[in-house]
DNA sequence: CGGGATCCTGTATGATACTG
DNA sequence: CAGTATCATACAGGATCCCG
């Protein structure tokens, strides 16, 4: 009950906090731009402008915004080269790479079920 | 070139169409509500109101909206029981189940890297 | 070149009310 | 109970300008 636990296992409050944190991360990361950026990076290191070209249709603002978010969560590493003009490169960290496996899975899924989905959509729309 | 291909392999135009379709699906499905709904359904069949309770914080409107989208893509099946009051149940289809594997992967990832992420975030914010 | 700040618009989302 | 429609609003996202 109210007694503090000294064991290694987390108490209820910890679990709740962990859950809300997990939920927060999930909500932030599970969006198309973040996924497309992660997918574009893959195992490469890319500059801001290169990323902008790779991720079809992303705006300057969305790219910076999502890169900040991913950097904040430690999914991408940002390396600034103090040259002129400046050169900023982004690379997936290990957690980022791990997430990429998931995103790759979703890409595979999309292509695998493309037929199913297109058919279902036609059926639904008609 | 301009010559029509009679082989089974898709032509350039088909590939472009497939890509844009894949991108469309990706953009629609890769959002937190869709993911949370898929995760909540799992292997169960749930009513609208049950789903509303399972997916913490989702509004009536967002739930219907996302369920329609998932139904349109054939990821969930909607069964209407013509009773009074009406009873509507939702179940993941096979493509939906396949996608759930991916979403599960992301949930696992979230919990696995919770520590990393929290630490990175504190470092970034401070 | 990378990115921050600002302004402005459309869309996403929530709250509410109504129908079968 | 499930779903649709309406309204109000916050926020996402684009365009633009300026800075290091």
Query: What is the pLDDT confidence band of residue B110, given thresholds at 50, 70 and 90?
Result: very high
Which residue in chain B is spatially nearest to A31 when comparing CA positions?
A: B31
Measured from the Cβ of residue A63, the count of other Cβ atoms closer than 10 Å reads 19
Query: Using CA atoms, how far apart are residues A24 and A45, in angstroms rounded to an integer?
Result: 27
User: Which site among B27, B76, B97, B109 would you substitute to test the A interface, given the most A Cβ atoms closer than 10 Å to its Cβ?
Assistant: B109
Query: Using CA atoms, how far apart are residues B67 and B61, in angstroms rounded to an integer?
Result: 10
Angstroms from A38 CA to nearest CA on chain B: 13
The set of long-range contacts for A39-45, using a CB threshold of 8 Å and a minimum separation of 24, is: A39/A100, A39/A103, A39/A104, A39/A107, A41/A76, A41/A90, A41/A91, A41/A92, A41/A96, A41/A100, A42/A92, A42/A100, A43/A92, A43/A97, A44/A91, A45/A79, A45/A89, A45/A90, A45/A91
Residue B18 has pLDDT above 80, yes or no: no
**CB A107, CB A38: distance < 8 Å:** no
> With a threshold of 0.95, does the pTM exceed it?
no
In sequence order, the β-bridge partners of residue B77 are B91
Do the Cβ atoms of B21 and A105 come within 8 Å?
no
Query: What is the pLDDT confidence band of residue A9, given thresholds at 50, 70 and 90?
Result: low
Q: List the single residue in B36, B73, B118 with the smallest CB-CB distance to A120.
A: B73
Most confident of A18-22, B17-21, B41-45: B41-45
Residue B87 has pLDDT above 70, yes or no: yes
Query: Using CA atoms, how far apart are residues B71 and A21, in angstroms rounded to an integer?
Result: 30
Residue B1 has pLDDT above 80, yes or no: no
Q: Residue closest to C14, CA→C1'?
A: B59
Percent of residues, chain B, with pLDDT higher than 90: 79
Q: In this structure, what are the phi and psi dihedrals at residue B42, rounded to the nearest 5 degrees?
A: 55, -130
**pLDDT, mean over chain A:** 90
Give the pLDDT confidence of A50-90 residue by residue, as tens digits: 999 999 999 999 999 999 999 999 999 999 999 989 999 99
Q: Residue closest to C12, CA→C1'?
A: B62
Residue A3 has pLDDT above 50, yes or no: no
Nucleotide with C1' nearest the B57 CA = C14
**CB B76, CB B34: distance < 8 Å:** no
Give the pLDDT confidence of B59-68 residue by residue, as tens digits: 999 999 999 9
Q: List the single residue in A106, A117, A119 with the smallest CB-CB distance to B102.
A: A106
The mean pLDDT value for B95-119 works out to 96
């Amino acid at each position: 009950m109210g007694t503090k636990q000294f064991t290694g296992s987390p108490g209820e409050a910890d679990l709740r906090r962990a859950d809300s944190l997990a939920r927060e991360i999930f909500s932030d990361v599970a969006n198309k731009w973040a996924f497309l950026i992660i997918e574009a990076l893959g195992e490469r290191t890319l500059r801001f402008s290169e990323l902008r070209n790779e991720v079809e249709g992303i705006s300057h603002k969305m790219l910076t915004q999502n890169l900040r978010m991913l950097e904040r969560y430690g999914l991408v590493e940002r390396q600034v080269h103090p040259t002129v003009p400046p050169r900023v490169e982004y690379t997936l960290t290990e957690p980022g790479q791990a997430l990429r496996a998931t995103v790759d899975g979703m890409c595979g899924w999309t292509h695998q079920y493309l037929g199913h989905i297109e058919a279902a959509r036609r059926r639904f729309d008609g």
